[in-house]
Structure 1
Amino acid sequence: MARLNDGDALAGDWFRVLKRSAEPRARLICFPHAGGAASFFRDWADLVPDHVDLAAVRYPGREDRFLDPPPASMADLSRPVARACLASDDVPLLFFGHSMGASVAYEVALRMQSSGGSQVAELFVSGSSAPGRSSSSRDPLTMTDAEIRKDIAELGGADANTLADQELWELLIPSIRADYRLIGRYRAAFSGRAPLDVPVVAYYGRADRDVDAASVAAWADATSSTFAMRSFDGGHFYLKDHAPDLVADLLGRRAAFRA
């Protein structure tokens, strides 16, 4: 069976291994937000039990894939990630996606399902309205770089030092702009499709300006299986302050994934 070794495909282009298990019962794969990177989830390694592998998707155009061109569309991103996940399905796969990552995780899960291969055991989405639903009036396709910078600051997606460092910002903005355009095109093109046949759990911050309870509850229409939702205190990046409770909740949803 495949294992999370440095030589594995899972540790190659598309995944960063954050925690390995000698005998995993499940593999939690995390999908970062717009402008985010796999390292966002590195602190989760201390929260995941020893029988769960932890990995995060390495989006092109950032960190150790800085020179790789960012994907232009959701299909360009979800297609190769789905292939990589199908190549590492020796144990049940759990997907967790935050913000843009929720949409990416959903699309990857759909592609896996339509391929006839293994399906995701459970999809956890966070800080995101359901596909085809948005409570935000902002259009990512028309936002200027200055507006994107202001947006990230207001959402709390980057620390103040990063946003204040002009040279660093100029290095980061191409991939961030690409992410905003990707999600904007995805929203514009989304027309609905057959739902997933896997359980979906949605999380959000009660003070998130970009999502509300109704747009999160609409994730129920994205699955023909069970649906649940839970809110936390905080805004769009509530998970920074509530990571222990969040990870405990998602891994406690099924007995096989518990410590």
Structure 2
Amino acid sequence: MSTATPSATVRVARPRIEGDWFFVPAPQAHRPFRLFCFPHAGGDATAYTPLARAIAPAAEVWALRPPARGGRSRHPMPADFTALAADVTAAITPHLADGGGRFGFYGQSFGALLAYEVARSLPADLRPELVVVAGAPCPAEWADRESKDLDPAELLRTTGLEELVQADPDLVELALSGIRTDLAVSATFRHRPHAPIGSALYAVAGAEDPMLATTDLGGWAAYTRGPFGHRVLPGGHLLATVDQPGPVDLLTSLLAPSQGPATPARDTKEQPSW
């Protein structure tokens, strides 16, 4: 009689919370590239769970937990964008100064603007090596979105969240409340000219995004002294969602150590420029 060999047990680390501000959906036993992810307006950290699982073990996702929603519903949102960026910068700095390895930022829509502004606020020696901005115009063009005039219910439909919450009116109201809160903060953003950062910067957008002309992506080139590239991908306004991991292949290729030229790349075609 043959004896079957039991299959090896794969241990998956449980998600964990890091302080008030960060959620790690798929912790890695080793220390890979740490990818800090910034949610869209009304979004929460859990939206990055599919991305975290799909990109492991190449990277470990640390998703930002914004105030005034989910597990932080009792934490008030800062009064304006400047205060929010300052709070996030203060919260993220200890995790960058621990000498733990390489890291980068990924943000979508409102989260893209916040990711860039936090990167800019950090000391030069603590800035991420890579910033990926998705579905967002560059800071100088942000005011043209007239965020304060956007209809939250329409934004809920545009981001594809309506289908996820339409069966529960309470969930709809919670989602709309979060969007209203973030749009109010977004409306306080004021662009001020500044020196470009040295991080590699990559701008992406969904081909079916009704909120952003994909030709706007090249405007981000002026915001870095480092390598720059952009690309249009299949998808809508949000690429990473609660049921879609997003641009995993692109992110994996960008964070690979062998990627990125020593000098800035300024090709503005729809293909990667490094």
Q: How far apart are 1:178 and its partner, in Å?
A: 1.5
Q: Which moved more, 1:174-183 or 1:24-33?
A: 174-183
Instruction: Give the equivalent residue in structure 1 for 2:75.
Output: 68
Written as runs of structure 1 = structure 2, the 5 A alignment for 1:51-90 is 51-89=58-96, 90=100
How far did residue 164 of structure 1 move? 5.8
TM-score by length of 2: 0.79
1:151 corresponds to which of 133, 149, 155 = 155
- CA distance, structure 2, for counterparts of residue 134 and residue 215 of structure 1: 11
Q: Normalising by structure 1, report the TM-score.
A: 0.84
Instruction: Give yes or no for contact 2:58–2:252 (8 Å, CA) kept in 1.
Output: no
* Alignment counterpart, residue 132 of structure 1, candidates 137, 140, 161: 140
C-alpha displacement of 1:254: 4.0
Q: Name the counterpart of 1:106.
A: 116
CA drift at 1:257: 8.3
Letter in 2 for 1:243: P
Contact (CA 8 Å) 1:126, 1:204: kept in 2 or not? yes
Deviation at 1:105, TM superposition (A): 0.2
Amino acid of the structure 1 residue aligned with 2:60: D
Quick one: distance in 1 between partners of 2:180 and 2:40? 13
Task: Give yes or no for contact 1:97–1:125 (8 Å, CA) kept in 2.
Answer: yes
Q: How big is the shift at 1:242?
A: 6.7
Q: Is the counterpart of residue 171 in structure 1 residue 174 in structure 2?
A: yes
Work out whether residues 133 and 215 of structure 1, in 8 Å CA contact, stay in contact via their aligned partners in 2: no
Distance 1:254 1:173 in 2: 34
Structure whose alpha-carbon radius of gyration is higher: 2
Match of 2:131 in 1: 123
Q: Answer yes or no: is the 8 Å Cα contact 2:36–2:63 preserved in 1.
A: yes
The superposition leaves residues 41-73 of structure 1 with CA deviations (integer Å, 9 ceiling, x where unpaired) of 111232123252211000001110011112222
Distance in 2 between the 1:161 and 1:48 partners?
24
Identity %: 28
Does structure 2 retain, via aligned residues, the 8 Å contact 1:52–1:257? no
Whole-Å Cα distance in 1 between the matches of residues 15 and 43 of structure 2? 23
Structure 2 residue ranges without an equivalent (≥5): 1-12, 260-274
AA matched with 1:178: T
The alpha-carbon deviation at position 87 of structure 1 amounts to 0.7
On the 8 A contact 2:15/2:26 being kept in 1, the answer is no
More helix by percentage? 1
Report the AA paired with residue 46 of structure 2.
Answer: S
